[in-house]
Structures are given as C-alpha cells and as structure tokens.
C-alpha cells in the first residue's frame, strides 16, 4: 500500500513538472511570435528593438535563426524588421544574411530608378543597406570581399553605395576607384568591339587587325 502511494505521488509530481515545462515552453513560443510580429510591423518596430536592447536576455541567436526560417507567413515585412534590428544592435554575425539580400527593397515593394534618390532615402528604402551602413567598417569590408561574386547589377550598385556611406575604411577609395576603372575599360572595349563589328560587316568576317 505504501509502495503504491509512493508511485502515485511520483507520477503526480512528474506530471506536474512536465505540465509546468509545457506551459513555460508555450509561453516562450507565444512571446517569440509576439516579438516577430512587432518587428514585422512598422508601427511597433522601434519599440520592439528597444525592448530587445533593454532585455537581459540575449535575443540575437533567436533573431539570427529567423533570418534562416521565418516564424511568420509574411516574410518580407519581418525581413525589414530583422534588418532594422541587426543594424541598430550592430550584429556582425548578420552581415552575410544582409549582403545576400543587399538589394531587397523594403515593405515588400519595388522601386524604379532608386539610385537617383538622396542617400538617406536609399538607406531607408533598402533595409539591408541601412543595416550594413549602421554596422560599419566590418560590414563595408565584407561587402567589398563579396563584390566580385555579385552578378546582379542591383547588388553591385547597392554594394558600392554601402562602401561609399561607411566612413573610416581605408580600402574604400581604392575599391571604388578600381570599379570605376573597370567600368571605363569595359566602356572603351565595347566601343572598340563595335567598331570591329561594323568594319567586319562591310569588309567580311576577318575585319581589321587588333592593335
């Protein structure tokens, strides 16, 4: 009888521990989702970041996990919030994610000829750009390192803009000058090749010799 009573008590205690753990886990999940929704909304984004900064809990790993798998259906608005948080908190671990999405326009939208706008407008329109600029020199150097692998024109233009907006990076001028020189050379070579094409069309396929 005593043994049976002890088993009942142990079972009851185990059930209570498991139940309390589940309540805490659910509460944590609910809190995380609430934070994600706050970051996704432009109206509550600032207060969400302020709460992260004021909290004693390290939320950076959680935010980084959301950059890989979103807890919300509307990913693009959460992307805006994550980029904003990464910039405000200067999360260098988020730089690869931001570089990968460097030319993504904010608020799930698109823009025609965005590069003609004022620098401050460009930064606010492209969440990743704004975040990279806030993170600073480490982000600028990461962008320069990634530049040769960028194939999309929008990515390359965004990268050059980031480098131009981060002060205190000694390599920035040499980088932008090299890109400019390459562009000038490609322009010159394209003009030369057009003249070769035109000459070849009138004289045959051999064309004039290259000099």
Q: Residues 178-211: pLDDT tens digits?
A: 999 998 998 899 998 989 788 877 765 555 555 5
Dist. CA 11–CA 81, nearest whole Å? 45
More confident residue, 43 or 15: 43
Tell me if 143 sits within 8 A of 92, measured CB to CB: no
**Is the pLDDT assigned to residue 19 strictly greater than 90?**
no
- Tell me the percentage of the chain whose pLDDT exceeds 70: 81
pLDDT tens per residue, range 124-169: 999 999 999 999 999 999 999 999 999 999 999 999 999 999 999 9
Please tell me the chain's helix, strand, coil percentages from 3-state DSSP, rounded to the nearest 5: 75, 0, 25
Predicted TM-score (pTM) above 0.75: yes
């Amino acid at each position: 009888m005593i043994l049976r009573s002890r088993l009942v008590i142990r079972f009851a205690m185990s059930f209570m521990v498991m139940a309390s753990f589940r309540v805490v886990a659910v509460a944590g999940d609910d809190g995380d989702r609430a934070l994600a929704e706050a970051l996704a909304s432009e109206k509550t984004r600032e207060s969400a970041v302020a709460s992260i900064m004021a909290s004693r809990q390290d939320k950076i790993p959680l935010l980084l996990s959301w950059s890989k798998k979103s807890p919300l259906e509307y990913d693009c608005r959460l992307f805006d919030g994550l980029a904003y948080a990464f910039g405000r908190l200067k999360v260098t671990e988020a730089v690869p994610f931001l570089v990968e999405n460097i030319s993504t326009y904010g608020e799930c939208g698109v823009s025609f000829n965005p590069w003609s706008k004022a620098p401050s407008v460009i930064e606010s329109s492209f969440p990743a750009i704004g975040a990279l600029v806030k993170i600073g020199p480490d982000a600028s150097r990461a962008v320069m390192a990634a530049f040769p692998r960028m194939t999309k024109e929008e990515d390359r233009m965004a990268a050059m803009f980031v480098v131009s907006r981060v002060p205190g990076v000694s390599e920035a001028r040499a980088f932008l000058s090299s890109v400019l020189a390459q562009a000038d050379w490609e322009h010159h070579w394209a003009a030369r090749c057009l003249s070769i094409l035109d000459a070849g069309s009138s004289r045959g396929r051999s064309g004039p010799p290259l000099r």
